[in-house]
């Protein structure tokens, strides 16, 4: 037993050093090097620019509060869409706090007679969900159209064009990227 | 539930079944120490590792020596990470200038990553320097996975060898698995993830000004390189707090599919490797069938519940699936599937917040871990755990029909059964013991975010996850306190090594036995009867112990949920 222990020390120490160099230093640095050359856009956060300035990332949700824009989902990341503090609400199914929050959000939505899409009043897992469901976008279309003095049919058509359909028809759910949709909206308004 | 949801689930299992043999063959080559095509490139590296550390890779180790060497390497690695986490403020690659971690958090994290748990008491983006992520954590993602697979190889040799003293060489197993399996797949996988949108940079963050003029700081870092091995090695410790729900860790439904596949990939392959090792691939398929049956039952319940949604919200005029704590790009089906996969394996990565699942939807991940994560399980750990159940199953079958139990050519005797029971009994003892204590002492009760039965579920889930070395959480629990950090670290350590040591003793004991050829009197361990028996033993031995605790937590929560009782 003590022989087993003494024979283990050198390999344990040397192997720790070797694996640290290979797996902890060489591997991530090599991947970083290749990634920065081959996929610089993605490797640096898939940033979206307008007029040379970064206005966000296609992958990370950002808050929209104005009636002129489509709104994202409620967010539990920091004070909302804080990308330094990704988080869900972690409220359970029988949480009074969850029910109160949803009740408050429902009350703030316009009454349309249509059922409320669940993603519109629930927080995402990351708090940074960049997407909403097509239903959640359509639910807001009238409000956006009114605020921008646009024809609601035109805004709804824009939403339908912006839907990302699932890959191979079964991977994931249809969704609309809120930032992309709002930029497209700005683009028609500018025309 | 939708048709496309079920197609997703069946496609997932189908792809894995198709990959089982090729991955299993590759694993078998490493198990036997045979040359692979990669030896031409990496062979010199492997030999260099042995030379520098003074190892003879052909030395056969007794189970004791194998165990001691494995423990010492793990202890050294753990201290190494502890030191890095404590000292990160003095070390390079800390662009945000994060301070060293406090003692309890550094200790908890070091244990957590050493034991393949990857319980995250910290929040990655606001605590860990890039160096800590790379050198302190990524290295464990490889080494804890390699250790798990090496241990499975050791147990396979116990079954496969006859009248042998040794069960292989720990250093050779560990080095080969790392160099010829984990590292090459991780390289390709990481680059695929980058191409799909996962950041990989040494920069810490990017500052943007949103369309509405608000400043947003996007946290970046060497994410993809860690993400790849995090999934492949069933580690689960994310770069970010939100783990695989974070769009930078898991940007699309396709990366999500690949991430789920990579959690199960090696586990599926190991069942084939076991079959090859004992000379009958039907033995491997029998184990895999039992695993897949239990897995599918779990997915069905979880998906059904999550797709049905929360009646409390339905009453507020919000019909449909439970989307609290889920990402739109994944939806209910891929979230429920991921949750079942990550807890059937001991991965613990999450793409949705389990704490916000419906009561029974959240019961499935919890129950999966309580079964001992033997349904595919962690890389290596799943199959060696399952083989312990198989030993008990042949023992029970032997008792019922009055024959000496045998399994894959080995007589199973009192020593093996006692050791298997010892390993399996650790789980409920520590989980339930620590949950009970934490449910009455003040620092324990300070933890839960949710009130009522769901608060109890949060505590129960934490200890289940720690002892099961899973690492997922009902994350409402505030666990970064000295009390929980300490208790959970002890739980993780016991959950890993108090199972491994008896398991290696079983391997050593089996290796020394004679081959007992199958006879007309042997209980067949390949057909449907055997698969049914295995499923039964896993559910009864693994699951029944936990039923009272589940009644107090998720089941009470479910009854409250359907009656609209809130806490």
* B322 in any annotated domain: no
What is the full DSSP assignment across A3-21?
HHHHHHHHHHHHHHHHHII
CB-nearest partner of A27 from B183, B240, B251: B183
Chain mean pLDDT for chain B: 94
Q: Does A112 contact B at CB distance below 8 Å?
A: no
Mean pLDDT of A14-41: 97
- Round to whole Å and give the CA distance between B354 and B448: 14
Percent of chain A with pLDDT over 70: 98
Q: How far is CA B487 from CA B382, B392, B550, in A?
A: 24, 30, 21
Q: Could you tell me which chain B residue has the CA closest to the CA of A168?
A: B254
Which residues, numbered 11 to 30 in chain A, qualify as contacts with chain B under a Cβ-Cβ cut-off of 8 Å? Answer: 11-16, 18-20, 22-25, 27-28, 30
Residue where the block lists tokens 């129960």: B460
8 A C-beta contact, residue B447 and residue B479: yes
**Looking at the predicted structure, is the pLDDT value of residue B165 above 80?**
yes
Encoded tokens for B454 = 């769901």
Which residues, numbered 32 to 61 in chain A, qualify as contacts with chain B under a Cβ-Cβ cut-off of 8 Å? Answer: 32, 34-36, 38-39, 42-47, 53-61
* B56 in any annotated domain: yes
- Round to whole Å and give the CA distance between A122 and A112: 19
Give the per-residue pLDDT at B404. 83
Chain mean pLDDT for chain A: 94
Contacts of B173 (CB under 8 A, 6+ apart): B30, B146, B149, B150, B153, B154
- Round to whole Å and give the CA distance between B541 and B44: 47
Residues of A in contact with B339 (CB under 8 A): none
CB-nearest partner of B69 from A8, A125, A175: A8
**Looking at the predicted structure, is the pLDDT value of residue B305 above 90?**
yes
Range of the structural domain that residue B136 is part of: 24-252
Which residues, numbered 216 to 245 in chain B, qualify as contacts with chain A under a Cβ-Cβ cut-off of 8 Å? Answer: 216-220, 222, 224-226, 240-242, 245
Give the per-residue pLDDT at B541. 84
Q: Does B457 contact A at CB distance below 8 Å?
A: yes
Residue where the block lists tokens 């089982």: B20
Give the per-residue pLDDT at A119. 96
What is the full DSSP assignment across B414-468?
HHHHHHHHHHHHHHHHHHHHHHHHHTTSHHHHTS-SS-THHHHHHHHHHHHHHHT
Mean pLDDT of B323-343: 97
CB-nearest partner of A45 from B5, B220, B323: B220
Give the per-residue pLDDT at A110. 87
Give the per-residue pLDDT at B223. 96
**Looking at the predicted structure, is the pLDDT value of residue A145 above 70?**
yes
- Round to whole Å and give the CA distance between B182 and B188: 10
Encode pLDDT of B361-405 as tens digits. Answer: 999 999 999 998 888 888 999 999 999 999 999 999 988 888 889
Mean pLDDT of A116-141: 97
* DSSP run (H or E) holding A47: strand A47-50
Give the per-residue pLDDT at B60. 96
Q: Does A9 contact B at CB distance below 8 Å?
A: yes
Residues of A in contact with B567 (CB under 8 A): 94-96
Contact A131/B329, CB-based, under 8 Å?
yes
Q: What phi, psi does B439 have (nearest 5°)?
A: -80, -5
**Angle made by CA atoms B354, B493, B421, in degrees to the nearest 5:** 90
* B117 in any annotated domain: yes
Encoded tokens for B385 = 């755990």
Encode pLDDT of B33-85 as tens digits. Answer: 999 999 999 999 999 999 999 999 999 999 999 999 999 999 999 999 999 99
CB-nearest partner of A94 from B178, B203, B560: B560
Mean pLDDT of B335-342: 97
Distance from CA of A60 to the nearest CA of B (A): 6
Q: How far is CA B536 from CA B286, B392, B483, B548, in A?
A: 14, 11, 37, 19
8 A C-beta contact, residue B551 and residue B434: no
Half-sphere exposure of B381 (CA within 13 A, CB side): 37
ipTM, two decimals, is 0.96
**Looking at the predicted structure, is the pLDDT value of residue B3 above 80?**
yes
Encode pLDDT of B196-214 as tens digits. Answer: 999 999 998 999 999 999 9
- Round to whole Å and give the CA distance between B546 and B364: 13
Give how many domains chain B has, as a whole number.
1
- Round to whole Å and give the CA distance between B535 and B537: 6
* B475 in any annotated domain: no
Give the per-residue pLDDT at A191. 63
**Angle made by CA atoms B478, B246, B469, in degrees to the nearest 5:** 50
- Round to whole Å and give the CA distance between B463 and A182: 44
Mean pLDDT of B329-356: 96
**Looking at the predicted structure, is the pLDDT value of residue A1 above 70?**
no
* B129 in any annotated domain: yes
Encode pLDDT of B452-494 as tens digits. Answer: 999 999 999 999 999 999 999 999 999 999 999 999 999 999 9
8 A C-beta contact, residue B220 and residue B204: yes
Cα-based torsion angle of the residue sequence B181, B186, B192, B193 in order, rounded to the nearest 10 degrees = 150
* B343 in any annotated domain: no
Give the per-residue pLDDT at B498. 92
* B168 in any annotated domain: yes
- Round to whole Å and give the CA distance between A128 and A88: 9
**Looking at the predicted structure, is the pLDDT value of residue B408 above 80?**
yes
- Name the more confident of A23 and A113: A23
């Amino acid at each position: 037993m003590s022989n087993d222990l003494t024979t283990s020390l050198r390999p344990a120490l040397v192997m720790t050093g070797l694996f640290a160099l290979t797996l902890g230093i060489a591997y991530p640095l090599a991947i970083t090097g290749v990634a920065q050359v081959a996929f610089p856009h993605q490797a640096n956060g898939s940033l979206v620019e307008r007029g040379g300035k970064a206005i966000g990332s296609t992958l990370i949700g950002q808050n929209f509060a104005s009636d002129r824009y489509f709104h994202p989902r409620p967010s539990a990341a920091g004070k909302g869409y804080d990308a330094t503090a990704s988080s869900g609400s972690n409220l359970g199914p029988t949480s009074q706090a969850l029910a109160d929050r949803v009740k408050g959000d429902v009350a703030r939505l316009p009454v349309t007679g249509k059922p409320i899409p669940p993603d519109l009043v629930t927080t995402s897992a990351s708090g940074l969900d960049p997407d909403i469901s097509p239903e959640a976008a359509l639910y807001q279309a009238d409000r956006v159209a009114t605020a921008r003095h646009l024809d609601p049919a035109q805004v709804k058509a824009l939403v339908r064009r912006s839907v990302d359909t699932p890959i191979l028809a079964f991977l994931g759910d249809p969704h609309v990227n809120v930032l992309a949709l709002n930029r497209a909206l700005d683009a028609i308004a500018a025309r | 539930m939708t048709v496309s949801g079920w197609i997703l689930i069946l496609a997932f299992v189908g792809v894995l079944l198709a990959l089982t043999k090729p991955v299993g063959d590759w694993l078998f080559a490493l198990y036997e120490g045979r040359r692979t095509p990669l030896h031409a490139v990496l062979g010199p590296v492997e030999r260099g590792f042995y030379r520098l550390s003074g190892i003879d890779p052909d030395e056969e180790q007794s189970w004791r020596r194998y165990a001691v060497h494995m423990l010492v390497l793990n202890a050294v690695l753990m201290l190494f990470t502890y030191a890095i986490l404590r000292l990160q403020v003095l070390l390079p690659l800390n662009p945000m200038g994060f301070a060293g971690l406090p003692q309890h958090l550094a200790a908890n994290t070091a244990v957590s990553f050493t034991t393949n748990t990857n319980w995250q008491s910290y929040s990655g983006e606001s605590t860990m320097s890039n160096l800590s992520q790379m050198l302190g954590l990524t290295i464990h993602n490889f080494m804890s996975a390699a250790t798990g697979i090496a241990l499975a190889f050791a147990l396979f040799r116990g079954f496969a060898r006859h009248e042998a003293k040794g069960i292989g060489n720990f250093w050779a197993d560990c080095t080969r698995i790392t160099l010829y399996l984990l590292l090459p797949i991780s390289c390709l996988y990481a680059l695929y993830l980058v191409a799909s949108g996962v950041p990989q940079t040494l920069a810490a963050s990017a500052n943007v000004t949103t369309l509405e003029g608000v400043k947003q700081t996007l946290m970046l870092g060497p994410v993809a390189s860690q993400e790849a091995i995090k999934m492949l090695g069933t580690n689960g410790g994310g770069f970010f707090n939100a783990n695989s729900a974070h769009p930078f860790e898991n940007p699309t439904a396709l990366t999500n599919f690949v991430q789920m596949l990579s959690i199960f990939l090696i586990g599926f392959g190991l069942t084939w490797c076991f079959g090859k090792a004992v000379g009958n691939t039907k033995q491997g398929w029998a184990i895999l069938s039992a695993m897949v049956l239990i897995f599918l039952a779990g997915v069905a319940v979880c998906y059904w519940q999550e797709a049905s949604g929360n009646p409390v919200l339905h009453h507020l005029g919000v019909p449909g699936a439970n989307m609290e704590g889920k990402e739109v790009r994944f939806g209910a089906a891929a979230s429920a599937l991921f949750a079942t996969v990550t807890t059937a394996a001991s991965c613990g990565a999450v793409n949705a917040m389990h704490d916000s699942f419906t009561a029974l939807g959240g019961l499935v991940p919890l129950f999966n871990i309580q079964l001992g994560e033997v349904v595919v399980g962690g890389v290596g750990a799943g199959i060696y755990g399952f083989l312990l159940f198989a030993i008990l199953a042949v023992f029970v079958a032997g008792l019922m029909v009055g024959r000496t139990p045998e399994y894959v050519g080995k007589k199973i005797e009192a020593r093996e059964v006692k050791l298997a029971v010892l390993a399996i009994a650790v789980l409920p003892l520590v989980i339930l013991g620590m949950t009970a204590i934490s449910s009455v002492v003040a620092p324990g009760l300070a933890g839960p975010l949710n009130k009522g039965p769901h608060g109890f579920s949060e505590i129960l889930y934490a200890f289940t996850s720690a002892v099961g070395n899973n690492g997922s959480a009902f994350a409402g629990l505030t666990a970064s306190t000295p009390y929980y950090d300490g208790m959970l670290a002890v739980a993780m350590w016991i959950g890993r090594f108090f199972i491994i040591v008896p398991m290696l003793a079983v391997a050593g004991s089996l290796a020394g036995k004679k081959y007992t050829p199958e006879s007309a009197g042997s209980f067949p361990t390949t057909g449907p009867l055997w698969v049914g028996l295995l499923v039964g033993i896993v559910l009864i031995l693994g699951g029944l112990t936990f039923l009272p605790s589940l009644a107090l937590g998720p089941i009470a929560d479910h009854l409250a949920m359907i009656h609209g009782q809130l806490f």
